[in-house]
Amino acid sequence: FHQGYLYESTGRYGNSSLREVELSTGAITRSVALNESLFGEGLALVDSTLIQLTWKNNTALVWNLSDFTLLGNLSYDGEGWGLCNDGEHLIMSNGTDVLTVRNPDNFSIIREIQVINGGSPQSLLNELECDEEYIWANIWGNKSFIRINSTTGYVDQVIDAGSLLEDESVSGTGVLNGIAITDSGEFLLTGKNWPKVFKVNLLPTPGSSPDNGSSDTSSDSNNSSGQAGQSSGTEGETSIINKIISLVLMLVVGTMIITATVLMIRLNRQGQTHKGTRSPMRGGEEDER
């Protein structure tokens, strides 16, 4: 997300693209198709360029933000899944439990982050969104997404986004796989072939359940900007806060608010698989991952 526009990387062989979407209307304002041999994956904004991963081609495409011209490419080993920019480095996922921190200029690996959730390695890390010292990650094929401490690798929050899949327009489409954060701290969530982007505010529910991770990490007690809720605990213990997702449904031709356990704000839009700018929004299965 950048200056009112959502930049998306869409997937599938023969259908992958890079596109710019005006968030207020859902209109696709710019788009460029990838070569049919490429499967678009995670996307991150770096200065005046967009860096787009590909799934199995070991290549990241570097695009000019202003006119979508291809400036070059960067190489990496293994699969490309999610990508985000923490303000200094790029952080990349490949479907395992290990994230790589990379130099944005040459894509070399600076360090690795093993992600631990509840004392066990968390694999299938997919879509990424960097948020100050945290990394938000979608778990492939799961209704939840998690917050990772980028220093320790420990998960300190788990968000259940299952209520999104209950929306009739999303039912029968694909998995949750897109996360972006607006300048005001709202989350933009979408998924494979979803026709909508959901604007989400996270609110804490009373109480929390401890996540007993490794004994060498202390819990986080600070909130990121624009987010409600906090982790609490003592040395060796992190807390996962159960959240209520407050969603506001924004229609292109008006706004309708539905109050239930959640407030849903739906943004009607054309869609394939979506991927946010500082993060990817991706799609799945063998030739349509």
Q: Which of 65-79, 144-158, 193-207 has the lowest mean pLDDT?
A: 193-207
Strands 254-255 and 49-54 turn out to be: unpaired
> Domain holding 16: CATH number?
2.40.128.630
| pLDDT given for residue 32 in this prediction | 96
Query: What span, in angstroms and rounded, lies between the C-alpha atoms of 272 and 282?
Result: 9
Which residues lie below 8 Å from residue 190, measured CB to CB, with a gap of 6+? Answer: 176, 177, 178, 196, 197, 198, 271, 274, 281
> Which pair of tokens denotes residue 100?
């790589």
Q: Tell which wins on pLDDT, 280 or 96.
A: 96
pLDDT (mean) for 162-169: 75
Query: What range does the domain containing 29 cover?
Result: 5-268
pLDDT beyond 50 at 283: no
93-145 pLDDT per residue, tens: 999 999 999 999 999 999 999 999 999 999 999 999 999 999 999 999 888 89
Q: Does any domain span residue 20?
A: yes
Q: Does any domain span residue 202?
A: yes
Query: What is the CA 156 to chain-centroid distance, rounded?
Result: 17
% of residues, the chain, pLDDT over 70 = 68
| pLDDT given for residue 262 in this prediction | 31
| 108-130: burial string, b at 16+ Cβ within 10 Å, e else | eeeeebebbbeeeebeebbbbbb
Q: What is the domain count for the chain?
A: 1
Q: Does any domain span residue 108?
A: yes
Q: Does any domain span residue 275?
A: no
